[in-house]
Amino acid sequence: MKAVIIMGSERDVEFCREVAKYLKILEVNYEFRVASAHKTPEKVLTVLREFEKENAVYVTVAGRSNALSAFVDANTSKPVIACPPYSEKYGGTDVFSSLRVP
């Protein structure tokens, strides 16, 4: 199995490295990709096509509206795990973003 960690912005790379630490412990291979549901939706779809034939799970890292998680989930039959980074700026409310997105 492979985890494909899709971050909405390069700014999320440090948080993604923390996620990757736990994947290493579990001996799960992973790859990072940067693609935004808002700014580069075609790139997100390209990433999904890239891993279509693999045994993969997607870990989406995006805060605020968390459109990335919903967009990925709507375009794949593979599991999607929303993992929004904690943000002091928004009082930690980003952790609820995956619950608010339809």
Confidence of residue 92 (pLDDT cuts 50, 70, 90): low
pTM of the model: 0.85
pLDDT of residue 84: 85
Higher pLDDT, 15 or 100: 15
The full 3-state SS of the chain, as one line of letters, equals CEEEEEECCHHHHHHHHHHHHHHHHCCCEEEEEECCCCCCHHHHHHHHHHCCCCCEEEEEECCCCCHHHHHHHHCCCCCEEECCCCCCCCCCHHHHHHHHCC
Residue-wise pLDDT tens digits, 26-73: 999 999 999 999 999 999 999 999 999 999 999 999 876 789 999 999
Judge residue 33's burial from the number of C-beta atoms within 10 Å of its C-beta, 0-12 exposed, 13-18 middle, 19 or more buried.
middle
- Sketch the domain layout of the chain as residue ranges: 12-64+74-90
